[in-house]
Amino acid sequence: MIEAIRDAHDVMMEREPNLVVFGEDVGFFGGVFRCTKGLQKKFGSHRCFDTPISENGIVGAAVGMAAYGLRPCVEIQFSDYMYPAFDQIVSEAARLRYRSAGDFSAPMTIRMPVGGGIYGGQTHSQSPESLFAHVCGLKTVMPSNPYDSKGLLIAAIEDEDPVVFLEPKRLYNGPFDGHHDRPVVPWSSHALSEVPDGYYRVPLGKATVRREGGAVTIVTYGTMVHVALAATQESGIDAEVIDLRSLVPLDEEAIIESVRKTGRCVIVHEATRICGFGAELSAVIQESCFYHLKTPIRRVTGWDTPYPHAFEWQYFPGPGRVADEIRLALED
Amino acid sequence: MPPAAAAEQPSSDALSLRVPEPHGRPGDAPAFAGLLNSRAGNVRRPPVDAPARGMEDLAASLIRVLDDDGQAVGPWCPDLSDPELLAGLGDMLKVRAFDSRMLMAQRQGKTSFYMQCTGEEAVACAFQRTMRPGDMNFPTYRQQGLLITAGYPLLDMMCQVLSNSRDPLKGRQLPVMYSARTHGFFSISGNLGTQFIQAVGWSMASAIKGGTAIAAAWVGDGSTAESDFHSALVFASTYRSPVVLNIVNNQWAISTFQGIARGDGPTFAARGVGFGIPALLVDGNDFLAVYAAAAWATERARRNLGPTLIEHFTYRSAAHSTSDDPAVYRPKAEHEAWPLGDPIERLKTHLILKGIWSEAQHTQAVDEIESEVLGLQKQAESFGTLRDGPPLSPREMFLDVYHEMPPHLQRQRQQAGF
């Protein structure tokens, strides 16, 4: 996934002379996760450079650059550290087009690693997607595999609107199904690790079905796609697994079609529950699929606590918890 | 000018918090003794390409060109032609007349809100004369002089203030939050300080693309306390970007005097020194001094010599906004006691002294401008006001959130019936 993200930068920096890439440690060093490795050497320090440790500075400067006519793709080292930039993201990038009636706009991408399952503790594990999804004017994207990472990042960079691009860092080196006690598997053995050379796009706002099934719909994204697939396989239940990929815009049609077919739904995300994105998903499904639902919509999420260090696997919604909820959704 | 209390040492071992207080509160006599630390013409003017190191004194001594008699003196005396000087006076008069009409419109209920820049006209009007087509200002809500000097139609400004059917911002923005890319005026946000770092980013972009345009950032004394101010300084300094970082120190952030933003010790200009950014402290009510400082700073930026910080030292004569009453937190006559006077009066005196203007011409010009502005206001009101006249379509509410309207907004628009 790291290589796919790096490659998306590379492809787009070749194609789009106005694309500039910057953030803390992204230049010479190539990023703490290697996602921008070699870009400065190849494209020069005017196109890819290190910044002061200032998230509001990074995003604020990017807004100004985008207003000039560049297409910045910036990195916040961990999503847990985006809060100093929140004002620039919410009050500025997201609203610039609206408040200026299109006089100015902010075509920019803000990348940030998200999610836990890595013993990251409180400030290297958060999943703040619902904070972005709530902001009108932003698009919010989270890939679950190398193929989508590259295609979605290219689409995000080309998009005329500001896109928050959330990268589950637990998936950087390989798929992770929540079985932390098993050896780490690299991407190379996974079907979606096949990443075409050159340019291609995965459209924003389009979900995909990862597993077709008839008994229950699991709506999820990011790391939890792999957890949901594992839970499905291990429970032997014929679940349909939807990978949203984009949270905003949301592919409501794909969700509604599936839930109307199965009549049951489990929403799975790593983020905390109260006002998490699952609440919005649940409301959308309730409004559109009420008469098709055979049992209540269920949510498997992180607990409403800060992300703990020592209790990583009691916190992380693993395949066992997901399978339990799937079984409950099937009762009656 | 630290208040006396700050110097007092507590008598016991107990710690005590320093909470700065202004020189005067309602009922007190205005007190500005010792405020002016330099006489007109007394501050040196280094070459534009001089290094920042060795320039620290300029952050602490007020650059003034017009003396008490109205003579232009000293090394900062700018090279402005008579027509330019007269145009500058005209711009300031237009700003003041515009403010006055819009204040009235708010009082008459034709709009919800307005903000004047009374007493600060020279800052924006003089500065804008050093900007070129393609340059970009990142203003606050109190630099309407930039727009007016740049020749943006007053009619469009009025329509924005009235949120009427001709409002360029389609009724989406609070009055005075203009946006005019064509006139080098970035979209104003209600969130303070945010545009300061954006200006730096814009200027970095110009440098990245090998362009020739520069940016000007604007912030008030109070908002220098926002974190974006500090980010802007470090980014501008690190990348040596072509930007002029303007602080308009009008002494007041709503009811809070500038000492609360820690302007009562070192000057705001001195903030630049620590970042290695050349910093000027300038008499903001002196049109010639502002122009000279701006010309110096913009030339530095254009010659790729990097950013400059300018503190414009002035006074907010009017209320903070139409929702504010300064009589409850500062001496009533404080603005009249302001030792740097009124920018329009000072330039007028200078021009009369120069023999290119007269009291009679001035009176006539004021009358002409006021009737021009009044005529435009009537025209603007023919397109509606916030409460009466031809309305904007509420369809506008759903447009421009995104480049293309996503399905959920299409549904909401249908649901709303527009």
| Nearest-by-Cβ selection for A56 from B186, B206, B227 | B227
Amino acid at A199: Y
ipTM: 0.97
- Active site residue: A124, A179, A190, A226, which one? A124
Q: What is the pLDDT of residue B5?
A: 47
Q: State the pairing for strand pair A139-141/A246-248.
A: antiparallel
Exposure letters B307-323 (e unless 16+ CB within 10 A, then b):
bbbbbbbbbbbbbbbbe
Given CB atoms, is B415 within the 8 Å cutoff of chain A?
A: no
Domain count, chain B: 2
Sort B33 into a burial class: Cβ within 10 Å, 0-12 / 13-18 / 19+: exposed
Whether B226 and B111 map to the same domain: the answer is: yes
Indicate whether A57 pLDDT > 60.
yes
For position B30, what pLDDT does the model report? 87
Backbone angles phi, psi at B188, to 5 degrees: -80, 140
Residue from A227, A217, A110 nearest A159 by CA: A110
Give the DSSP letter string of B186-222.
Answer: PPP-SSTTHHHHHHHHHHHHHHHTT----EEEEEETG
Q: What is the pLDDT of residue B11?
A: 66
| Chain B partners within 8 Å of A249 (Cβ) | 406-408
Inter-chain CB proximity B199 and A64 less than 8 Å: yes
Predicted local distance difference test score (pLDDT) of residue B32:
85
Let me know if residue B16 belongs to a domain: no
- Give me B292's structure tokens: 């000279």
Q: How far is B159 from chain A (nearest CA, A)?
A: 14
**Per-residue pLDDT at B12 exceeds 80:** no
Q: Tell whether A284 lies on the interface with B, counting CB pairs under 8 A.
A: no
Q: Say if residues A128 and A141 touch (Cβ distance below 8 Å).
A: no
Question: Is-catalytic flag, A124?
Answer: yes
**Which amino acid does the sequence have at A226?**
H
In angstroms, the CA B242 to CA B215 distance is 7
Number of residues written out for chain B: 418
According to CATH, where is 3.40.50.970 located in chain A?
2-171
- DSSP-assigned letters across all residues of A176-212: --S-TTSPPPPGGGSGGG---SS-----TT--EEEE-
d(C-alpha A23, C-alpha A292), whole Å: 47
Q: Which residue has the higher pLDDT, B11 or A306?
A: A306
Q: Does residue B271 share a domain with residue B405?
A: no
Q: How far is B218 from chain A (nearest CA, A)?
A: 14
Residue B313, helix vs strand vs coil:
strand
Which residues are CB-neighbours of B411 under 8 A, at least 6 positions away?
Answer: none
| B254: number of Cβ within 10 Å | 13
* Domain match, B381 and B398 both: no
Residues B312, B341: one domain? yes
Give the pLDDT confidence of B48-103 residue by residue, as tens digits.
999 999 999 999 999 999 999 999 999 999 999 999 999 999 999 999 999 999 99
* Residue located via tokens 């809500």: B141
B407 & B280 share domain: no
Task: Let me know whether B380 and B400 are in one domain.
Answer: no
What are the CA-CA distances from residue A227 to residues A88, A170, A175, B331 (Å)? 34, 12, 9, 67
Cα(A238)–Cα(A256) distance, rounded to whole angstroms? 18
Q: Kindly state whether residues B230 and B164 are assigned to the same domain.
A: yes
pLDDT tens-digit series, residues B262-312: 999 899 999 999 999 999 999 999 999 999 999 999 999 999 999 999 999
Nearest residue on chain A to B241, alpha-carbon basis? A61
pLDDT tens sequence across A195-214: 999 999 999 999 999 999 99
Q: Are B378 and B370 in contact (CB under 8 A)?
A: no
Of A3, A112, A102, A105, nearest to A55 by C-alpha is: A112
Chain B residues with CB-CB distance to A18 below 8 A: 209
At A37, is the pLDDT very low, low, confident or very high (cuts 50, 70, 90)? very high
CA distances from B173 to B99, B104, B163 (A): 18, 20, 8
A-chain residue closest to B136, CA distance: A68
Q: Is the pLDDT of residue A42 over 70?
A: yes
Contact B186 A67 (CB under 8 A): yes
Confirm or reject contact between A105 and chain B (CB < 8 A): yes
Show the tokens assigned to A264: 């049951």
As a whole number of angstroms, the distance between CA A31 and CA A27 comes to 7
pLDDT band, residue A185 (cuts 50/70/90): very high
- Judged by CB atoms closer than 8 Å, whether chains meet at B403 and A100 is answered as no
Q: Is the pTM of this model over 0.90?
A: yes
The residue among A47, A45, A29 whose CA lies nearest residue A37 is A29
SS3 labels along B97-144: HHHHHHHHHHHCCCCCCCCCCCCCHHHHHHHHCCCCCCCEEECCCCCH
Cβ-Cβ contacts under 8 Å for B311 (sequence gap 6 or more): B59, B247, B249, B267, B268, B269, B279, B280, B281, B282
Cβ atoms of residues A243 and A225 within 8 Å:
yes
Which CATH architecture group holds A198-329?
3-Layer(aba) Sandwich (3.40)
Instruction: Tell me the count of A-B CB pairs closer than 8 A.
Output: 145
Among B33, B51, B65, B119, which Cα is nearest to B282's? Answer: B65
How far is CA A112 from each of CA A82, A117, A243, rounded to the nearest angstrom?
Answer: 8, 16, 19
Domain with CATH 3.40.50.920 in chain A: 198-329
Are B170 and B255 within one domain? yes
Q: What's the gap between Cα B373 and its chain centre?
A: 21
Strands (E), B212-326: 215-220, 243-249, 252-253, 256-257, 279-283, 308-313
CA distances A325 to A48, A87, A331, B363, Å, are 45, 37, 10, 82
Eight-state DSSP code of residue B66: B
Do B172 and B241 have their domain in common? yes
For position B181, what pLDDT does the model report? 98
How does residue B10 score in pLDDT terms, banded at 50, 70 and 90? low
Between CA B198 and CA B231 the distance in angstroms is 10
Give the whole-number percent of chain B exceeding pLDDT 90: 93
Taking the Cβ of residue B194 and every Cβ of chain A, the question of whether any pair is shorter than 8 Å is answered with yes
Q: Are residues B397 and B352 in the same domain?
A: no
Closest CA to B289 of B41, B5, B46, B108: B41
Give me the phi and psi of B225, to 5 degrees please: -80, -15
Which tokens in the block code for residue A149? 């990472």
Say how far apart CA A59 and CA B84 lie, in whole Å: 39
Residues A107-153: tens digit of each pLDDT: 999 999 999 999 999 999 999 999 999 999 999 999 999 999 999 99
Q: Which residue has the tokens 């409301």?
A: A283
Contact between chains at B191 and A250 (C-beta distance less than 8 A): no
**Structural contact between residues A168 and A114, judged by C-beta atoms closer than 8 angstroms:** yes
The CATH class, in words, for A2-171 is: alpha beta
User: In the predicted model, is pLDDT for residue B38 greater than 90?
Assistant: no
The nearest alpha carbon in chain B to A48 belongs to B208
Q: B218-247: per-residue pLDDT in tens?
A: 999 999 999 999 999 999 999 999 999 999
**B201 to A65: CB separation less than 8 angstroms, yes or no:** yes
Contacts of B189 in chain A (CB under 8 A): 91-92, 95, 99
Q: How many CA atoms lie within 13 A of A82 on its CB side?
A: 26
Over range A223-233, report the average pLDDT. 98
Name which of B196, B197, B403 to mutate to probe chain A: the one with the most chain A Cβ atoms within 10 A of its Cβ. Answer: B197
- Name residue, tokens 């599936």: A258
Q: How far apart are CA B97 and CA B105, in angstroms?
A: 12
> A36: how many CB neighbours lie within 10 A of its CB?
27
Q: Average model confidence (pLDDT) for chain B?
A: 95
Computed over every residue of chain A, the mean pLDDT equals: 97
pLDDT at residue B8 in the model: 53
Q: Is residue B397 located within the same domain as residue B259? A: no
Tell if the CB–CB gap between B194 and A205 is shorter than 8 Å: no
Model confidence at B33, in pLDDT bands (50, 70, 90)? confident
Q: Examine residue B310 and state whether it is found in any structural domain, yes or no.
A: yes
If one counts every other C-beta atom within 10 angstroms of the C-beta of residue B93, the result is 22
Q: Note whether A63 and A99 are within 8 A (CB).
A: no
- Residues A301 and A269 sit within 8 Å (Cβ to Cβ): yes
How many angstroms separate the Cα of A304 from the Cα of each of A234, A299, A312? 27, 13, 14
Q: Does B327 touch chain A (CB under 8 A)?
A: no
**Out of A63, A139, A160, whose CB is closest to B201?**
A63
Region B184-197: mean pLDDT is: 98
Q: Which two tokens stand for residue B372?
A: 């021009």
Q: Is B236 on the interface with A (CB under 8 A)?
A: no
Residues of chain B found within 8 Å of residue A48, distances taken between Cβ atoms = none
User: Residue B2 has what pLDDT?
Assistant: 41
As a whole number, mean pLDDT of residues B1-7 equals 45
Q: Which of A91, A105, A161 sits opposite B189 (nearest CB)?
A: A91
Phi then psi for A256, rounded to 5 degrees? -65, -45
Of B366, B374, B372, the C-alpha closest to B92 is B366
* B65 plus B182 within the same structural domain: yes
Q: Which domain holds residue B253?
A: 56-387
Strand partners, A211: A241
Report the distance separating Cα A9 and Cα A15, nearest Å.
10
Q: The tokens of A197 are what?
A: 């050379």
Q: What is the pLDDT of residues B110-140, one digit of tens each?
A: 999 999 999 999 999 999 999 999 999 999 9
